[in-house]
Structure 1
Amino acid sequence: MQPDFNREVYCLLGLPFDAIGLDAAVQRVQQAARERKPCFLSTPNLNFVVAAQTDAAFRNSVLHSDLSIVDGMPLVWVARLLGLPLRERVAGASVFERLRRDAGTPIKLFFFGGADGVARAACESLNAEPGALSCVGFDAPGFESVQAMSGEERIARVNAAGADFVVVALGARKGQAWIEHNRSRLRAPVISHLGAVMNFVAGNVKRAPPWLQRGGLEWVWRIKEEPALWRRYGSDGLAFAALLMRRVLPLALQSFLRRPSRQQLGAAKVSLEEGPQAAVLRLEGAWTAANLAPLRKAFTDAAGSREPLHLDLWGVSHLDSAAIALMSLLWASRTGNPGDALLFGVQPRVRRQIELSCSTYLLAE
């Protein structure tokens, strides 16, 4: 599926994030459900970012998403440090609760996953209270593999329920993998892995008070509710501290010291050259969120072509987070296309920007 290159999206620690608030995210989901327009919603938090550094398939699932929201205050703080307009935490649980309270847009849900009995309890609890969300089915496949829980009969049962939104709870990596594996087979327009939501709705786990959420301390409450989480949070915290020191702080310093000049911004242009073995998009000048319109059009045209594609960055003097994010969406849309070698001819300074952005997967070997 071709990505939308008109999204206002920024690269943060190797993943794309939409600059969107809670209200707009809710409206986007409601519109997708109403118009039956596919929307794969990803909710990257600190755990997502850390796991994506070493798990390419997990990272690619976020790159393939139609909407990627900042579900973690530490990521909002990093965005502020880097000057990115990701100013608001948009938690998946908050999107769900807002959808539930908005009586103007009824949405039918299917719960997939969860521990034994949780999906049933969540379904019954949701239907017992008035609200815009209703549950039309559930399935708890247990601890099977992604392939085992993707059989024809199981997918047919999900589709037969007529849901608008499939809420998945299988653990982040397996949940994202299941969505990637079955997205083209599911009829529900909206799909998202919202693991904690099912427990919240079922009443097995209480969500943290709003003041803890705003202060970035929801993880403390989650450990109180689910003590086994402390190992994951501790491991993620250490990995995140390393990313701060090795990637975030150097990138913040470089961004402050090396701003593109007006001349470099004015020199930005993109041209397409048809070569004997591949099409080449040749970029020049400095690319930032302020001048990406030509790049958006060029990438939209390129994403639809099955011919091998190369991006020549020899003439590029600067890339900001928005430009790198667009390149990641293009890269994801071309994954597996024979002959592609997206970024080559990258100047050392620009290569350093890409490396500090945790986006070295974009670079040709």
Structure 2
Amino acid sequence: MAPQPSPAASVLSEVEMLGFTAHPGTLEDYLALIARSIRESASSTVFYHNLHSLYSYYSDASLRAHYSGKTVLVDGMPIIWLMQLFGLRSLSREHRLTYVDFIFPMMELARDNDWQVFHVGQNAEVQARAMNIIREKVPGIRIAGHDGYFDQSTDSAESLAVIDEMNRLDTKLLLVGFGTPRQEAWVAAHRHRITAPAVFTCGACMEYVAGEVRTPPRWMGRLGLEWSFRLLENPRRFAFRYLVEPVLLGFHFLGNGLKRGFRARVEHPAIPPADHGENDSNRPNSPA
């Protein structure tokens, strides 16, 4: 059985700092968001932030616009540490939520409630292998999918065909794994056509499920050291991400801190599991 979400956990606090916004929550908090969104047919769109996505966020104005008004889970211990440094002492390792830890409780929750799950992303072989593993570990799960090798441009015939497929299945939980920034752009462009109440971007999640990329030991994740494992496993793929991007990100943090102040704004409670408008002018979408 999946961990049961608490009704009280279905509203997340919003943290705004250094020009970005996030909604740190525990596993139970986000399971509650999914459950409430589906049961109340309230649209939820959940992106994530780690250091790599933040680097892309600061570097790409269109990506910042896509993040505006979305729920943003924290997928990186350095962001939790930064929030703690800004005075949010109540946050802990439990508020860092990575899909390596999230995916199977999410699937169990869907199975226990007979919700259709749909994943789009990765190549067909990796996706099929991942789905077979999910079906073995979560018997009775209703899950389908489509690979990520199609024309992802706005309202392309291939994108619309994929959306028609997931809508015909009455999908309740959609996972989109193209990687940042393509997954956010695709979701933002097509969300109005997608009938699934809960939509999550999930990056390379299915690569880890399929064993295409080795999963770091969980103690490394709790200590914020997963990056070192991935770097040693695949230096060509991850060298720039883990050795260069954090340095450049530091300059973005400094610039935004000088511009906006080195402080965090916390809103309690922040959001129900329903989307804000795309053009919410109160969102910080123009960092330095």
1:236 aligns with 2:245: yes
Give the aligned partner of residue 55 of structure 1. 60
**Structure 1, unpaired ranges of 5+:** 1-5, 256-319, 327-331, 337-341, 344-357
Q: Which moved more, 1:144-153 or 1:202-211?
A: 144-153
Sequence identity percentage: 21
**Cα deviation 1:209-239 (Å, max 9, x = unaligned):** 1110011111122234443122222232111
**What is the CA distance between 1:7 and its match in structure 2?**
5.2
- 2:38 alignment partner AA: A
CA contact (8 A) 2:150 2:159 kept: no
Task: Choose which of 17, 23, 29 in structure 2 pairs with 1:24.
Answer: 29
The aligned runs of 1:139-150 (5 Å cut-off) are: 139-142=146-149, 144-147=151-154, 148=156
Higher RCO, Cα 8 Å, sep 6+ = 2
Give the aligned partner of residue 7 of structure 2. none
| Matched residue count | 266
Q: Matched residue of 1:11: which SS?
A: strand
**What is the CA distance between 1:106 and its match in structure 2?**
4.0
Q: Matched residue of 2:181: which SS?
A: helix
**TM-score, scaled to structure 2:** 0.79
CA contact (8 A) 1:46 1:74 kept: yes
Give the aligned partner of residue 94 of structure 1. 101
Task: Choose which of 99, 111, 123 in structure 1 pairs with 2:131.
Answer: 123
Task: Choose which of 214, 223, 227 in structure 1 pairs with 2:222.
Answer: 214
Give the aligned partner of residue 13 of structure 1. 18
**TM-score, scaled to structure 1:** 0.64
**What is the CA distance between 1:32 and its match in structure 2?**
1.8
Cα separation, 2, equivalents of 1:61 and 1:93 = 24
Cα separation, 1, equivalents of 2:180 and 2:141 = 23
**Cα deviation 1:187-230 (Å, max 9, x = unaligned):** 11111110221112222123211110011111122234443122
Cα separation, 2, equivalents of 1:68 and 1:321 = 15
Greater Rg over alpha carbons, structure: 1
**What is the CA distance between 1:133 and its match in structure 2?**
4.2
**Cα deviation 1:240-275 (Å, max 9, x = unaligned):** 2324544459977x65xxxxxxxxxxxxxxxxxxxx
Change in CA separation of 1:333 and 1:111 when aligned onto 2, cut-off 3 Å = closer
1:167 aligns with 2:175: yes
Cα separation, 2, equivalents of 1:360 and 1:140 = 31
1:335 aligns with 2:260: no
Q: Which moved more, 1:48-57 or 1:88-97?
A: 88-97
Change in CA separation of 1:217 and 1:250 when aligned onto 2, cut-off 3 Å = farther
CA contact (8 A) 1:108 1:134 kept: yes
Q: Matched residue of 1:322: which SS?
A: strand
- 1:238 alignment partner AA: V
CA contact (8 A) 2:12 2:29 kept: no
Compute the RMSD of aligned alpha carbons.
Answer: 3.1
Change in CA separation of 1:38 and 1:250 when aligned onto 2, cut-off 3 Å = closer
Give the aligned partner of residue 75 of structure 1. 79
Change in CA separation of 1:163 and 1:16 when aligned onto 2, cut-off 3 Å = same
